[in-house]
């Protein structure tokens, strides 16, 4: 799929418990070290620092399908991107970009002034997307990932620029 793909209409809303089967399936399709169901339950029901969002397709003729999710931790004045994924069949349609912009705008209005994340060194699609937001590499955690010993790149976006985020939505 190329970047000239037309923009698919989506609706972004808070994740709820009924979303968990679809969220867990999406997570398993997207990561070599998926989160267990208990982690999503914790984020939804216990962790007060957590903001969990999903994106659904929004076309009048078809039932809504959950195509993406993001979890953000609001730690003091920082929005930490804990996880983000788009279903493989729906990638390169600016869904992650719109979802991340939405989540960061919400974080900004809740008091966040910067953002932070970790990403695998070899995860080119994600790193390219984060760079589009203005995230910069600020450090490395050597051999951070248990499955293949890959390094984690630490990236930050400082400060959060509301105008730029609104343009990426």
Q: Which residues are catalytic?
A: 118, 130
* Closer of 83 and 108 to ligand COA (Cβ): 83
String of DSSP letters for 88-146:
GGG-SSSHHHHHHHHHHHHHHHTT--EEEEEEETT-HHHHHHHHHHT-EEEEEETT--T
* Closer of 96 and 160 to ligand COA (Cβ): 96
* Closer of 48 and 129 to ligand COA (Cβ): 129
Q: How far is the CB of 163 from ligand COA (least distance, A)?
A: 18
Q: How far is the CB of 16 from ligand COA (least distance, A)?
A: 21
- Give the footprint of ligand COA on this chain (CB under 6 A): 3, 30-31, 84-86, 91-97, 119, 123-126, 128-129, 132
Q: How far is the CB of 168 from ligand COA (least distance, A)?
A: 9
Closest CA to 168 of 131, 137, 121: 131
Task: Report in angstroms the alpha-carbon separations of 64 from 18, 29, 44.
Answer: 14, 19, 21
């Amino acid at each position: 799929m190329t970047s000239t793909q037309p923009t698919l209409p989506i609706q972004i809303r808070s994740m709820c418990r009924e979303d968990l089967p679809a969220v867990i399936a999406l997570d398993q399709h997207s990561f070599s070290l998926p989160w267990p169901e208990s982690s999503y339950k914790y984020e939804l029901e216990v962790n007060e620092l957590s903001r969990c969002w999903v994106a659904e397709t929004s076309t009048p003729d078809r039932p809504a399908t959950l195509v993406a999710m993001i979890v953000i931790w609001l730690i003091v004045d920082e929005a930490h991107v804990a996880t983000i994924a788009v279903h493989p069949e729906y990638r390169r349609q600016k869904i992650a970009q719109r979802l991340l912009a939405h989540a960061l705008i919400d974080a900004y209005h809740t008091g966040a002034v910067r953002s932070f994340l970790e990403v695998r060194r070899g995860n080119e699609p994600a790193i390219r997307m984060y760079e589009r937001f203005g995230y910069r590499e600020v450090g490395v955690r050597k051999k951070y990932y248990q499955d293949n010993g890959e390094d984690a790149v630490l990236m930050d976006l400082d400060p959060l620029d509301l105008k730029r985020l609104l343009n990426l939505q």
